[in-house]
Amino acid sequence: MDSARRKQVLDALGIESWSPRTRHAPTQLLQVAVPTQAATVTVEAAPAPNQNAAMLHKFPDPSAPAFEVPTDWEGLRPAVAGCMRCKLCKTRTNTVFGVGQQSAPLMVVGEGPGADEDAQGEPFVGRAGKLLDEMLKSIGRSRKAEVSDQAVFIANVVKCRPPGNRDPEADEVEACRPYLDQQIRLVRPRLILALGRIAAQRLLGTEAPLSKLRGPLYEYGSEKTPLLITYHPAYLLRSPGEKAKSWADLKRVHQFLAA
Ligand code: SF4
């Protein structure tokens, strides 16, 4: 990006100063509040903060054009479908964008697609997905609902399946975060419900265990969206004894949204 264009972007973002970084300096992705009047906002692609030199040159490619985050649904969906910002693009079958009503009061955020989701391009469609649907139904909500007070939007912190169902890595989550953040800006949920340890840790930027994270009401992002944490349905399938705690969390979600 030339200096005039960079200044134009920084002015638009309300950033006053700029220090050029060296090509190999570890950096974080720039998270910004997106001006609503702009069709797109331009964010310079950042090098991955890891030690893998070969991967550093590929994901993201420092010579690649500046990354544009579309600010509307019509632009965001194809941007995700064609995304090659991290190495998960090499092994996915389908990107998994998200599902549900686009102005739902509740947004559920999971970890990442599994094999069934990768094959079908929709989040939470396997056994864990069926359980999630039951959990949502217990508080009167459905991914298919069109009425706002029954609606939910479901997404993941990464839109492509990590191979072998491993946890998504930090650089993959950071590469994908602009898409999730833009989904949150577009949905404008009253509450985010993070499912499981990985989603909670990645959203909150902590390595604390789920047992410590579950309970408080957090705020996420520049919009300070309220966020609660509960168990991932896949964990509940393995540990059905925790369903009572999960139900307590769901009642809290219901009460929050009903207030
Ligand atoms: S996980 Fe996200 S950042 Fe990585 S390739 Fe898929 S859509 Fe792009």
If DSSP codes are grouped into helix, strand and coil, which group holds residue 65? Answer: coil
Q: What is the largest CA-CA distance in the chain?
A: 59
Provide the residue type at 3 as one letter: S
Spell out the domains of the chain, with CATH numbers in brackets. 45-258 (3.40.470.10)
Q: Going by CA atoms, what residue is nearest to atom 2 of ligand 1? A: 176
Q: Would you say the CB of residue 96 lies under 6 angstroms from ligand 1? A: no
Residue 90: its pLDDT value, please?
96
Residue 216: its pLDDT value, please?
96
Q: Would you say the CB of residue 155 lies under 6 angstroms from ligand 1? A: no
Q: Going by CA atoms, what residue is nearest to atom 6 of ligand 1? A: 160
Provide the residue type at 121 as one letter: G
Q: Would you say the CB of residue 88 lies under 6 angstroms from ligand 1? A: yes
Instruction: Give residue for tokens 């499912």.
Output: 195
Q: Would you say the CB of residue 169 lies under 6 angstroms from ligand 1? A: no
Residue 40: its pLDDT value, please?
43
Both tokens of 89, joined, read 């693009």
Q: Are 155 and 147 within 8 A, CB to CB?
A: no
Q: Going by CA atoms, what residue is nearest to atom 3 of ligand 1? A: 176
Task: Give the residue, out of 59, 76, 80, 89, with the most ligand 1 atoms within 8 A of its beta carbon, to mutate for a pocket test.
Answer: 89
Regarding pTM above 0.85, the answer is no
Q: Are 102 and 153 within 8 A, CB to CB?
A: yes
Q: Are 75 and 178 within 8 A, CB to CB?
A: no
Q: Would you say the CB of residue 101 lies under 6 angstroms from ligand 1? A: no
The Å distance, Cα 184 to ligand 1 centre, comes to 17
Residue 59: its pLDDT value, please?
60
In a structure prediction context, what are the per-residue pLDDT tens digits for the chain, which is 259 residues long? 445 544 443 343 333 333 333 333 332 333 333 333 333 434 333 334 444 444 443 565 556 666 789 999 999 999 999 999 999 999 999 999 999 999 999 999 999 999 999 999 999 999 999 999 999 999 999 999 988 889 999 999 999 999 998 999 999 999 999 999 999 999 999 999 999 999 999 999 999 999 999 999 999 999 999 999 999 999 999 999 999 999 999 999 999 999 9
Name the nearest CA neighbour of 31 among 223, 157, 191, 181. 181
Q: Would you say the CB of residue 80 lies under 6 angstroms from ligand 1? A: yes
Residue 91: its pLDDT value, please?
96
Residue 3: its pLDDT value, please?
53
Name the nearest CA neighbour of 183 among 79, 46, 43, 28. 79
| CA-to-CA separations, 126 to 122, 129, 132, in angstroms, rounded | 10, 5, 10
